[in-house]
Amino acid sequence: MKKIFIVGMGNVLLQDEGIGIHVLERLEKEGGLPDEVELIRGETGGLALLPSLDEASAIIFVDAADFEGTPGEVRMYKREEVQKARYIPLSVHDVGLRDLISLLSLKSASPPEIMVVGIKPMRLGTGIQISSELDKAIPSIVMIIRTEVERFAMLHP
């Protein structure tokens, strides 16, 4: 059976750095995802997540990312772009995320399709509240993820 994992990354104690977890919580609250979708709180897990992703046919990582743009802006990165360093690590866990994606690619003859949804943060200080810019962006981020889930489901029937 195909499995699509949505993995929220980030540290919720560092304001916008925890955007991946906030998006995951919104997806949990709204529901309505297909049965083959599993939501995973990756937080700052990095390589520790490897065993829990073994059965994936597709994975969407949601994380804060460092790129030129406005706070709340979203960029999509395919596995190849992450491996070629087009996805810029924002914090320590992202080093593990890049390594995790590389290992997932090497581990299987048919590795899962991987997409990283990167969100430009506004604030990275200590605190549990995300910025209003990112809070306002969450509905559009959720819509992007739902569209990717539909695309993955069609590609991996």
pLDDT digits (tens, 9 = 90+) for 29-72: 999 999 999 999 988 777 777 777 878 888 999 998 888 889 99
For residue 67, what are its two tokens? 């790129």
Classify domain 4-155 at the CATH class level.
alpha beta
Higher pLDDT, 74 or 67: 74
Predicted local confidence at residue 92, as pLDDT:
46
Q: Give the H/E segment covering residue 60.
A: strand 58-64
* Whole-number pLDDT of residue 153: 82
Query: In this predicted model, what pLDDT tens digit does every residue of 78-112 receive, in sequence order?
Result: 887 776 765 555 554 555 677 777 777 777 656 67
For residues 157 and 63, the model is more confident at 63
Asked whether the predicted pLDDT for residue 10 surpasses 80, the reply is yes
- What's the predicted TM-score (pTM) here? 0.88
Question: Number of helices (H) and strands (E), helices first, in the chain?
Answer: 4, 5
Segment 123-133 shows an average pLDDT of: 88
Rounded mean pLDDT, 119-132: 89
Inform me whether the pLDDT recorded for 74 exceeds 70: yes
Cα 112 to Cα 121: distance, rounded to the nearest angstrom: 27
Query: Of 123, 124, 69, which Cα lies nearest the Cα of 93?
Result: 124
Task: Give 123's pLDDT tier (boundaries 50, 70, 90).
Answer: confident
User: Residue 142: pLDDT band by 50, 70, 90 thresholds?
Assistant: very high
pLDDT at 89: 53
- Exposure string (b/e) for 85-118, b if CB count within 10 Å is 16 or more? eebebbbebbebbbebbeebeeeeeebbbbbbbb
